[in-house]
Amino acid sequence: MLRTCTLKEASQLDGETVKVCGWVHDIRVLGKIAFIIIRDRYGLAQLTLIRSIIGKENFKKYTKLTRESVICVQGKVQKTEQAKLGFEILLESLEILSIAETPLPLGVADKVSADMETRIENRFLDLRKKEVLAVFEARSAIIQGIREYLAQEHFIEVHTPKIVATATEGGTELFPIKYFEKDAYLNQSPQLYKQILMGSGFDRVFEIAPAFRAEEHNTTRHLNEFISIDAELSFADDNDAMQILENSIKNAIKHAIESEALNALEQDIETPDKPFERVTYDDALDLINSKGYSMEWGEDFSTEALKILGKEIDDFYFITHWPLEIKPFYVLPFEEKYSKAFDLMYKDKELSSGAQRNHNYESLVNIMKQKGLNPENFEFYLRAFKYGMPPHAGWGLGLERLVMIVTGVKNIRECVLFPRDRTRLVP
Ligand code: ATP
Ligand code: MG
């Protein structure tokens, strides 16, 4: 056994001999005594090296260790007021497992200060920082919160293909790939497949999986590969879908708070206790226009328009009753010009889009044609509407957008281990 406990576990002890492992965070030498600060995922510990105990040769060797080298040590834990951490490990023996080269391409002991490019370039080192790790601990807790809630609501977790023959919504935001002798694409969304599963009687499904968008723009809230959390439920309308989404978000935030990951980020967020506000598209439009901005009915909200809206409603809220023409073909029409589509927003950021779906075969085909799509390309999807399709509703939620809100980081790239953006394909 390399170690008997983690550094956090060691911090709870007093008088016991332990074996711990980690990275050399920092070294200070004060004559015949030296301190190595060792770090693992759970925290730091001070190793106290006394020359007369470990010998002159060892003392010299260990105090010359480079930062970020990996070591395992044995020693006795002692509570002490003198150490900043409140305890120290009095070193008995030390094993060097891996020596780090110098200089480091990116400092770990220092606060995050390097630019995003340098950080991503040296991501393995960047991820050693406690506040960077905390984003991924929060991300993990968020996924668990959503999974727990949806499972409790009897949703089946599914996986649909990511290599597909047709675009979900037409359009150009597709990555083409070669599939033997055929042309294929990376899927933009599991939309069509999760709807087919409603026709299969699965009743309630969800999927947490990558989605690929060949969007050319480089923004702080778009990635070319992101994780889409999708849910779809049968015998349900837009209100039912919104309720499931709202509860999922609340349970995600609750889990993130309970995980304590947010402490390292000094992020102060509470689980929302009130129902999310709902604003119709028309009311949002009026509100924006009343603030001196000019937006026409039927336009999508521009970044600037959303800034105005986000200032007015500075929390989670739904925008409902969207014009049919700006939403995808699969949303349910309502009162001619409108649809049963909704977006979930947080301040000025879109978090999720959803809708009650159009489950009527003829109407679906007509709307596809109106939108310039060829129904023949969607035959595999449309077939599921011809032999018994229940009314259904659902949504797609961008995991990284939610992680941004919960952790408070400003750039979506920080919420992904190895981001894929307009120019970045490695690491
Ligand atoms: P936006 O208008 O913000 O580009 P969208 O309306 O094109 O998003 P949808 O097709 O509605 O996106 O996808 C559902 C959700 O997936 C979005 O609300 C968002 O949270 C997330 N999402 C979509 N595209 C991206 C992307 N390129 N990077 C990260 N998340 C995304
Ligand atoms: Mg959307």
**pLDDT, tens digit, for every residue of 196-233?**
999 999 999 999 999 999 999 899 999 999 999 999 99
The ligand with the least distance to the CA atom of 397 is: 1
pLDDT at residue 308, as a whole number: 98
| Direct distance between the N- and C-terminal alpha carbons of the chain, in angstroms, rounded to an integer | 32
Arithmetic mean of pLDDT, 390-408: 98
167 or 134, greater pLDDT: 134
Q: What is the mean pLDDT of residues 86-105?
A: 98
List the residue whose alpha carbon is closest to atom 11 of ligand 1. 353
Quick check: 112 pLDDT over 80?
no
Average pLDDT, the chain: 96
- In this prediction, residues 273-300 reach a mean pLDDT of 98
Could you tell me if residue 9 is left (phi over 0), alpha (psi between -120 and 50 degrees) or otherwise beta? alpha
CA-based nearest residue to 108, from 99, 119, 116, 121: 119
Indicate which atom in ligand 1 lies nearest the CA of residue 343: 18
What pLDDT score does 24 carry? 98
Q: Is the pTM of this model over 0.85?
A: yes
Q: How many CA atoms does the CB half-sphere of 28 hold within 13 Å?
A: 7
pLDDT band at 170 (very low <50, low <70, confident <90, very high): low
* Structure confidence at residue 111 as a pLDDT band (50, 70, 90): confident
Q: Which atom of ligand 1 sits closest to the CA of residue 224? A: 27
Per-residue burial over 153-171, b = 16 or more CB atoms within 10 Å of its CB, e = otherwise: eebeebebeeebebbbbbe
Ligand 1 mean position, distance from CA 223 (Å) = 9
CA distance 239 to 11: 50
Quick: pLDDT tens for 255-276.
999 999 999 998 999 999 999 9
Ligand 1 atom at shortest distance from the alpha carbon of 401: 20
Give me ligand 2 centre to Cα 322, in Å: 11
Lowest mean pLDDT segment, chosen from 42-46, 166-170, 295-299:
166-170
- The candidate with the shortest Cα–Cα distance to 255, out of 90, 379, 406, is 406
Q: How far is the CA of 343 from the centre of ligand 2 (A)?
A: 7
Structural domains present in the chain: 7-98 (2.40.50.140), 125-415 (3.30.930.10)
Q: pLDDT by residue (tens digit) across 345-376? A: 999 999 999 999 999 999 999 999 999 999 99
Catalytic residues: 213, 215, 221-222, 350, 353, 401
Residue list, ligand 1 pocket, CB within 6 Å: 213, 215, 222-223, 226, 228, 350-353, 396-398, 400-401
Pocket test for ligand 1, best of 249, 353, 357 (most atoms within 8 A of CB): 353
Average pLDDT over residues 295-299: 98
Tell me which residue has its CA closest to atom 27 in ligand 1.
222
Residue 167 has what pLDDT?
A: 72
Give the closest residue (by CA) to ligand 1 atom 23: 398
Atom of ligand 1 nearest to the CA of 349: 3
Mutate-to-test residue for ligand 1 from 213, 232, 318, 351, highest number of ligand atoms within 8 A of CB: 213
Which pLDDT score is estimated for 381? 97
Instruction: Point out the least confidently predicted range of 63-72, 110-119, 162-171, 193-202.
Output: 162-171
Q: Separation of 169 CA from ligand 2 center, angstroms?
A: 12
Q: How many Å apart are CA 194 and CA 178, to the nearest integer?
A: 24
CA 156 distance to own-chain centroid: 21
